Amino acid sequence: MGVSEISHRSPAFDQIINQANKDLRELLEIPHNYKVLWMQGGGLTQFATTVLNLVAWYRIKHQLTPQDQVEAQYVVTGSWSKKAAEECERLGVKADKVVDAKKLYGGKFKGIPEKSQWNIQQLEEHSRVPAFVYYCDNETVDGVEFGGNDANEEENAFPFHSFDPEIPVVCDMSSNFLSRPVDVSKYGVIYAGAQKNLGPAGVTLVIIREDLIGTSLSLHFISFF
Of the pair 47, 135, the CB lying nearest another protein is at 47
CA nearest to 194, candidates 48, 43, 92, 86: 43
Q: Are 77 and 100 in contact (CB under 8 A)?
A: no
Of the pair 2, 214, the CB lying nearest another protein is at 214
Q: Which residues touch 207 (CB under 8 Å, ≥6 apart)?
A: 24, 28, 30, 34, 35, 36, 37, 184, 187, 189, 190, 191
CA 157 vs. chain centroid, Å, equals: 16
Of the pair 32, 221, the CB lying nearest another protein is at 221
- 80 included as an active-site residue: yes
Of the pair 92, 143, the CB lying nearest another protein is at 92
48 sits near another protein (criterion: CB under 8 A): yes
Residue 134, strand partner residues: 74, 170
Candidates 40-48, 74-82, 104-112, 146-154: pick the segment binding another protein (CB under 8 A): 40-48
Candidates 107-115, 156-164, 193-201, 208-216: pick the segment binding another protein (CB under 8 A): 208-216
Shortest Å, Cβ 87 to another protein: 13
CA nearest to 74, candidates 106, 119, 126, 123: 119
Q: Pick the catalytic residue: 57, 80, 100, 142?
A: 80
What is the rounded (10 degree) CA torsion for 7, 12, 18, 20? -80
131 sits near another protein (criterion: CB under 8 A): no
Note the residues at the interface with another protein (CB under 8 A).
Answer: 8-9, 17, 35-40, 45, 48-49, 52-53, 55-57, 59-60, 62-68, 91, 206, 208, 210, 212-224
Catalytic residue IDs: 80, 172, 196
